[in-house]
Amino acid sequence: MTGSHQLLEGYNTPPELTYITFDDPDGSGTVSIGDRYFFGFSEPMRTAPLSDNTTEGNVNLSPEGKKYGNKNPIQWNEDYTECTIQITYGFTVTGSEIVDPTDKVTDRTGNPVSNTMPLTLADTISPAFVKAQGNYTSPVGSVSDYQLTMQFDSAMDASVTPVIQMKSASGDIPEVSGTGAWQKTVYENDTYITPDIDLSEITAGEIQVSISGAADAAGNEMAPAENVYQFSCVADSGLPETWIYSGVQDGGITCSASVRFCWSGSDDTTTVSELRYSWKLDDGDWSSPEPENCYELTDLSKEDHTFHVRGHDTSDNADPTPASRSFSVDESPPLISEIDMSGETDRVTIRWVTNKPATSQVAYGTTDTYGSVTTLETALVTAHSVTISGLAPESVYHFQVRSKDACEIEAVSEDQTVSTSASTVSPTSALTVYQKDDGSPLILWGHEGEPIAGYNIYIGSVKLNQELLTNSGYIDTGYAKDERRYTCVAVNEDGQESPGRSMTLPLLEFMPNTGEKILRGVMNRLEFLVENRSSDRIDHALLKVEIEGQVYTSQAFGINGETSQVIAVTVEGHGDLPDLVTLTSTIKITPDEGGKVEIIRTWEIEASDGMLVLGILNEEFVRGETGKVRFTLKNTGEAEIEIVTATDSGSEPSDEITVSLLDEDGNVLSTTAYKQTDGSDITTIGSRTNARIPAGSVFISESFGIDVPLTSPDNVNLELEISHVHYHPGQSDAVTLDGLSARQHLSLMDTSYYGEVLTVTPETSHGDENIEITGRAAERATDSSMLEVPLNLMISVNGFERTFQVFTDAQGEFHHTFVPLSNEYGSYTVWAVHPDVTAKPVQGAFVIRRVGVSPTEINLNIPRNYEQQINIRVSVGGTDLHGLQLVCDPADQVDGVFPRGIHVTPDPAVDEVKSGDSATIGCVIWADNMADETGRIVLKVKSEESGADSWGTVLIHFRFSEAHPSLFVTPDRMETGVAREDRVIDILTLENRGLASLDDVIFSLVQKDGSPAPSWAALNSEAELDSVAVGETREISISFNPGASLFLSLILEMYGAGNPCLSLL
């Protein structure tokens, strides 16, 4: 131990600062952010007093009173003899001061530095090479315009040209001659771009790049940098390939004189982004090669055309087999011929032929101006047949047939007439149709007049009943959840039918939106998604909701065919609702022709507790005077509410809002009725004046007075009662909710001093910073400051209050820091009072704004060429947003490039979202055949208020698959009867609701054992179809003509390319 002690005693030579050097990367000649100082020491040092990303450099190794920045990056070399300090924001050194290390800067044995040394502004540090990048992706073909971009860590001398050497394994050395260009990346002239380098004669192989000779703005020459970049050269012997992925299909027909084609290509050496393309139409000249991969042809003549496109690689090799598509421009209407018609008592059937597939529709009426039109049959066929029912007997009708081809070009016939036969039977009453859940529809009717034998009921021309119906009702057991137009006729003893009464049961579905629930104690807005899957518009509809015997009704609405919309019903949240509520919802349709349709669905939804928030704000009450009161009411429900603020057209107080002053035993000391007729949310309709409070909003009343008797005790209660809360009073969907009350304890004792708030900063926040509140206490008699006394600081938002006890300082003032919770927002009020005072005089205010985005991450798994709607919910608090929308910017994507083949169409921006409200924004996403199978899309939520920033980010992880057809047949079961030697024809409708066409379709009619059907059962439609397109419907006609009585079950089978055999019937 003695020897060791003597050794340490002998090692006491203090270290010295040996040098201070300066690195001035921006070349300014002054100290600036990003500059570096290097401190050299004579021996290894302890690093603890100079730690990275601290202020220790300012304390232990700086000129007195100066600093290198607020916090500094500090790095040591490997042997701990050199320390580097980087200049950061907040620096005060100028480069002319003396550095005097503190005693904490020591060597490994604890000896402090013994000397001082001045700072310098002379830059003596050589610049360093950072990175290089070529303008072509490796491997590079035989190009003559190759360029390298070389970046340095400092501003460089642009008059000094770097020496760039290139070496290859094959011995070829491409010459880099001439002077390139300097540009700014971080610092002025810190990036050098070489002139074009000719690689057209280079043998395939790897090339290494070295650089030397460059100097920074201070004249310091760089150290040579070997092998800073590598790339490969390949001999470009391959030829590019080209294909067209968008535009008119080969052999297709277009109805427009403008056609847009898009294409892509590939090559063995040239990347997709570097390919160029040329195109031509028919036998025209090729265009110049350009990088664009889409082009729109315009002013096309009405004839056959062929579009050609070919790719070019970087070596200017062209695709020898260009991609092409042949197509025709056809704007001629269909040709109508062979019009035929036949009439019965209340219906006529009209048939015709077109020279190409087209739709079917008939305009008809008692004059040649028509006035009525049949439902458009969208199936494209050449043989057309339309039956019109519900006509008057023994009448002449004018009609005109209409057909549109695939290009929506319409042909119409000349006016023609057809007659119905006579009838002596009076019709039934209007029909009523009920359909509940998955049950069969019930059709009801009545009949007044002459005796009848019974009724027949039809769907179109197909009679549903086998025997004559003797009751005035029918259950349609063959219902297949499709649209059905029922027609009922009365039949007399002679077999004559009356004119028909018709009613349409539309293909309509509806359900509560996901997550809907009822809150007790508030007005609830239940939203239903209503989908009209029929082709025709529905009008005169109501949505009714029954809960616990109480019925609530929506406003009347209409909905277009093949669309959906949200219909809202406001319901009262009774306090005695069970936790699971049975909800019966009915859509009632009352067409102009009388009768009605009711579609009924039953659901169960959750109920939980909620409440409106009522608060009382009062100033200090004094005996013998009038106390000032205000109240706040926050609507925490989802529907707008109203309260009555005045009556008799505003001349009398409200009969539903009262304020009372009570003693502690509940005895009334005084009372007053509230009245308010002015304000932005106050409206007078009839004799009632109401305050309207939107969902999520807070109503703040005007101040009003209540007498405080001289005999009032020290402790009293202020009670405010609202007897009823209303929704749409006086309207068809009106709802009334039981009211609520609030009570505030008051102290009438006099206090020696009072409190007040002086400042609140900031007045507006996004919740990411604290709120600083200052105030004071003052003696009531003299208004002089009260030192070191307690006050209650009150902060209120949406009726919820928080109390903080504060003490004044030696100047009679206080300071409090309010830290918002992570999810709170709104408009806050602040006041400071004596601890014995319960008054609530508002003395200051501030606002916290927040925007929530949900979901922020979506897994999307859909077929290619299928459009998917993406919806994002944005909730807003403490602020209003305008122009809210989803934004898809390539700069936000991975590597700054939008994924190829993916198409994103944002929904229109939401004009305004109020504080406390939420809104749904979205976009439509689909992928073409060029899209990658998996990847990620980045969307941003923005508004006018967000500026260059965003309110949130939505990540979509996608996976795309191939699409398939999906077939639906109606009806899925058919029962038919026919007299011996007679003939009947039945129709099946086949619809492709999938995402791909079904090709090469073959139909066959067989018996259950698989043997062919008998000869008297036959397909009238074509047994083979080229294709059933997505969304297309095809009618399949089957005829039966047995020669004997029998019962036989048959199956209609269908085969399609790439699909198994399906039994359709």
Number of domains forming the structure of the chain: 10
- Give the domain-ending residue among 697, 720, 747: 747
User: What's the angle, vertex CA 559, arms to CA 553 and CA 562, rounded to 5?
Assistant: 135
Residue 769 has pLDDT above 90, yes or no: no
Claim to verify: residue 944 and residue 984 sit in the same structural domain: no
The percent of residues in the chain predicted with pLDDT above 70, rounded, is: 92
**Strand, helix or coil at 895?**
helix
Claim to verify: residue 713 and residue 789 sit in the same structural domain: no
- Phi and psi for 516 in degrees, rounded to 5? -65, 140
Claim to verify: residue 686 and residue 710 sit in the same structural domain: yes
Has residue 439 been placed in a domain?
Answer: yes
Query: What confidence category does residue 1041 fall into, taking pLDDT thresholds of 50, 70 and 90?
Result: low
Quick check: 791 and 816 in contact, CB under 8 A? no
Region 119-126 average pLDDT: 93
**Strand, helix or coil at 260?**
strand
Has residue 526 been placed in a domain?
Answer: no
CA distance 655 to 835: 36
Region 386-392 average pLDDT: 84
Q: Which residues have C-beta within 8 Å of that of residue 498, sequence separation ≥ 6?
A: 345, 346, 423, 425, 426, 427, 428, 452, 489, 490, 491
Claim to verify: residue 833 and residue 933 sit in the same structural domain: no
Has residue 409 been placed in a domain?
Answer: yes
Cα-only R_g, the chain: 43
Quick check: 244 and 323 in contact, CB under 8 A? yes
Q: Which of 33, 37, 29 is nearest to 70 (CA)?
A: 33
Partners of 817 in the beta sheet? 772
Has residue 425 been placed in a domain?
Answer: no
Claim to verify: residue 980 and residue 906 sit in the same structural domain: no
Claim to verify: residue 550 and residue 620 sit in the same structural domain: no
Residue 435 has pLDDT above 90, yes or no: yes
Residue 309 has pLDDT above 90, yes or no: yes
Q: Which residues have C-beta within 8 Å of that of residue 407, sequence separation ≥ 6?
A: 253, 254, 255, 330, 331
Claim to verify: residue 250 and residue 318 sit in the same structural domain: yes
Outline where DSSP puts E strands in 635-667.
641-647, 652-653, 657-663
Has residue 427 been placed in a domain?
Answer: no
Query: What confidence category does residue 7 fall into, taking pLDDT thresholds of 50, 70 and 90?
Result: very low
Claim to verify: residue 370 and residue 252 sit in the same structural domain: no
Q: Which of 222, 85, 75 is nearest to 155 (CA)?
A: 222
Query: What confidence category does residue 11 fall into, taking pLDDT thresholds of 50, 70 and 90?
Result: low
CA distance 879 to 824: 13
Region 149-162 average pLDDT: 93
The predicted-structure confidence for 346-371, as pLDDT tens digits, reads as follows: 789 999 999 888 999 999 999 999 98
Residue 936, token pair as written in the block: 């990620």
- Give the domain-ending residue among 447, 470, 505: 505
Supply the mean pLDDT for the chain.
Answer: 86
CA distance 540 to 592: 8
Residue 879 sits in a domain whose CATH number is 2.60.40.1510
Has residue 342 been placed in a domain?
Answer: yes
The predicted-structure confidence for 998-1022, as pLDDT tens digits, reads as follows: 777 777 777 766 677 776 777 666 6
Q: Which residues have C-beta within 8 Å of that of residue 354, sequence separation ≥ 6?
A: 334, 335, 336, 337, 382, 384, 403, 411
Claim to verify: residue 137 and residue 67 sit in the same structural domain: no
Claim to verify: residue 879 and residue 991 sit in the same structural domain: no
Residue 1060 has pLDDT above 70, yes or no: no
The predicted-structure confidence for 833-869, as pLDDT tens digits, reads as follows: 888 887 788 889 998 888 888 888 898 888 888 888 9
pLDDT confidence of residue 855: 87
DSSP states of 56-81 as a string?
HHHHHSS-TT--S-SSB-EEE-TTS-
Enter the DSSP assignment of 428: P
CB atoms within 10 A of CB 407: 17
CA distance 64 to 99: 8
- Give the domain-ending residue among 366, 395, 419: 419
The predicted-structure confidence for 58-91, as pLDDT tens digits, reads as follows: 999 999 989 999 888 999 999 999 999 999 988 9
Question: Within 13 Å of residue 984, how many CA atoms lie on the same side as its CB?
Answer: 14
The predicted-structure confidence for 705-735, as pLDDT tens digits, reads as follows: 999 887 889 889 999 999 999 999 988 889 9
Residue 203 sits in a domain whose CATH number is 2.60.40
Residue 445 sits in a domain whose CATH number is 2.60.40.10
Residue 2 has pLDDT above 50, yes or no: no
Has residue 525 been placed in a domain?
Answer: no
pLDDT confidence of residue 9: 40
- Segments forming the whole domain that contains residue 159: 129-233
pLDDT confidence of residue 914: 83
The predicted-structure confidence for 138-154, as pLDDT tens digits, reads as follows: 888 777 788 999 999 99
Claim to verify: residue 861 and residue 910 sit in the same structural domain: yes
Residue 792 has pLDDT above 80, yes or no: yes
- Position 585, amino acid: S
Has residue 975 been placed in a domain?
Answer: yes
The predicted-structure confidence for 472-514, as pLDDT tens digits, reads as follows: 999 999 898 899 999 999 998 888 888 888 899 999 999 998 8
Q: Which of 91-105, 257-271, 960-974 has the highest mean pLDDT?
A: 91-105
Claim to verify: residue 765 and residue 875 sit in the same structural domain: no
